[in-house]
Amino acid sequence: MTKENITAEKQFLTPFNVVAGIILLVGAVITILRFTKGIGAVTNLDNNNPWGLWIGFDLMCGVALAAGGYVTSSACYVFGLKKYHSAVRPAILTAFLGYALVVFALHYDVGRPWRLPYPIFYSQGTSSLLFEVGLCVFLYLTVLFVEWTPAAFEWLGFKKIRAWVVRLTMVLTIFGVVLSTLHQSSLGALFQIAPSKLHPLWYSGYLHVYFFISSMFAGMSMVIFEGTLAHKWLHHKMDETHLAEAEGVVLGFGKAASFVMMGYIGIKLIGLAVDNNWHYLTTGWGLWFLVELVGFVLFPAILYGMGAREKNTTFIRIAAFWTVLGIILNRLNISVIAFNYHLPSADRYVPSFMEVGTTIFIVTIGLVVYKFIATRMPILYEHPDYKEHH
Amino acid sequence: MEFFTLHDFMTYSKGITYLIMGAILVFMPLYWLYLTDRDD
């Protein structure tokens, strides 16, 4: 074996690649089981709990945390905040992969993947919120794909088609904001048809508003969190512009997230007051609700605020990670934990290890594809041939 | 708090809601000033 071969093998057998490889292998086995033995063979879902971790985490959290795409592109292109330009491509890529994996994960839950186009092209259920969500995700995934293609075309050297797509940027951004407004809120509205199943502290006539507003700071937090990880692992791929603008992105998004989160707490209090649900706060569920609202919204909002005021990016990065956890907790509370809260504990849903394994498998696919794209295409740096275009 | 009519309930819950909305209207601009007063 030559020295070059040994070096190449060492470069390939990194801890990330080995762990990711094992997860992908286990995930492939679970996938085979799911699609050959049926959903009952790999999940703990039943008639009481037809939606579990795959919907609660892979779909609900996936869509919320992919909101960085519309937040960043609208900040840069619609509101003209060009100082955030370097954050647009990583945010669009994260959003594109996020939505693609949401659709991918949905196959595990729904089954029969060849029927994916049915709700759009064959049998539209126009009175259903799920149809609205499906249509928006279908359209927005297409928008995100087109928004991402300039990076791929720059990498491939397709100058003409890249120039054509770049001309569509503003239209695509506006389309993306409209579609995100619709489906982010519709995911919350889905649970408004189940007032007897969702605990009153989480159920509200404003649930769709909560989902949309929380998607804004979820997106901003995810941009900061993903940027932090990229700085740690892909620092060598960043150019001077990206590195110079990074602190401004963190401070600006941290400030905006703090303000939106305070507003979110305000409308959550209004929701409690309108339904007069204050008395539930003294129960066990109330304590859990306060853990979510105070521990994972108010606390990071204050941390964001202090970080933005003191120009302390460490505070903001911690707050971003904390907020991402808070969004996951909120979406799981609504779709799994506080859903069917009245059922006896024997009938409550706990995900099987294969459901958890599938979720880890899908997140790992996202990480591997992100790494593959970010190490090859101009995501974290400007392609030298197109610098004057930005 | 006990309610005997829907009107009682609405008067109470809306009253609290409007107080919270007023507090938010005062708090949010002040919080924005807190966030931005050290900006260049």
Q: Tens digit of pLDDT for each residue in A15-30?
A: 889 999 999 999 999 9
Residue type, A105: A
Cβ contact B35–A305 (<8 Å): yes
Is residue A129 scored above 90 in pLDDT?
no
In A, which residues are within 8 Å of B11 by CB distance? Answer: none
Q: Is residue A366 a contact partner of residue A97, using CB atoms and an 8 Å limit?
A: yes
pLDDT reported for residue A308: 95
Are A59 and A105 spatial neighbours (Cβ–Cβ below 8 Å)?
A: yes
A7: which residues sit within 8 A by CB, 6+ positions away?
none
A39-68: average pLDDT: 93
Q: Which class for A6: exposed (0-12), middle (13-18), buried (19 or more C-beta within 10 A)?
A: exposed
Q: CB A274 to CB B12 under 8 A?
A: no
CB contact under 8 A, A262 and B16: no
Q: Predicted ipTM?
A: 0.95
The string of pLDDT tens digits covering residues A147-175 is: 999 999 999 999 999 999 999 999 999 99
Please give the pLDDT value at position A94. 95
CB contacts of B27 in chain A (<8 Å) are: 262, 266
Centre a 10 Å sphere on the Cβ of residue A338 and count the other Cβ atoms it contains: 21
Give CA–CA dist A24/A367, Å, rounded.
11
For the stretch A211-235, pLDDT in tens is 999 999 999 999 999 999 999 888 8
Contact A66, A219 (CB under 8 A): yes
Output the average pLDDT for chain A. Answer: 93
Tell if the CB–CB gap between A276 and B31 is shorter than 8 Å. Answer: no
Q: Could you tell me which chain A residue has the CA closest to the CA of B14?
A: A274
The confidence score (pLDDT) of residue B3 equals 87
CA dist., res. A53 & res. A59, Å (int): 9
User: Which residues in chain A have their CB less than 8 angstroms from residue B20's CB?
Assistant: 266, 269-270, 273
| pLDDT value, residue A327 | 97
pLDDT in the model for residue A382 = 87
Which of B1, B13, B28 is opposite residue A263, by nearest beta carbon? B28
Asked if the model's pLDDT at residue A40 lies above 90, the reply is: yes
| Higher per-residue confidence, A287 vs A124 | A287
| Pairs of CB atoms within 8 A across A/B | 44
- Contact map slice: A 232-271 vs B, CB within 8 A: 255, 258-259, 262-263, 266, 269-270
Give A298-332 pLDDT, tens digit per residue.
999 999 999 999 999 999 999 999 999 999 999 99
Percentage of chain A beyond pLDDT 70 is 96
In this prediction, residue A136 carries a pLDDT of 92
Q: Per-residue pLDDT for A374 more than 90?
A: yes
Predicted confidence at residue A259, as pLDDT, reads 97
Predicted confidence (pLDDT) per residue in A249-297, tens digit: 999 999 999 999 999 999 999 999 999 999 999 999 999 999 999 999 9
Q: pLDDT at position A1, please? A: 52
Whether residue A7 is predicted with pLDDT greater than 80 in this model: the reply is no
pLDDT of residue A207: 95
Are A220 and A256 in contact, with CB atoms under 8 Å apart?
yes
- Chain B interface disruption, residue of A217, A220, A262, most B CBs within 10 A: A262
For the cut 80, the answer to whether the pLDDT of residue A145 exceeds it is yes
Chain A residues touching residue B17 (CB < 8 angstroms): 270, 273-274
Per-residue model confidence (pLDDT) at position A2: 62
Band of pLDDT at residue A125, cut at 50, 70 and 90: confident
pLDDT at residue A4 greater than cutoff 70: no
Residue of B24, B25, B37, B40 to mutate for A, most A C-beta atoms under 10 A: B24
Q: Decide: A389 and A380 in contact? Cβ < 8 Å.
A: no
Are B12 and A276 a contacting pair at CB < 8 A? Answer: yes
A5 phi/psi in degrees, rounded to 5: -65, -40
Q: Which of A274, A275, A306 would best serve as a mutation to test chain B binding (most B beta carbons within 10 A)?
A: A274
CB contact under 8 A, B32 and A258: no
Q: Pull the structure tokens for residue A236.
A: 């060598």
Residue with tokens 């009938």: A347
Residue A290: predicted pLDDT: 97
- Contact residues on chain A for B10, CB-CB shorter than 8 A: none
Q: Is the pLDDT of residue B34 over 70?
A: yes
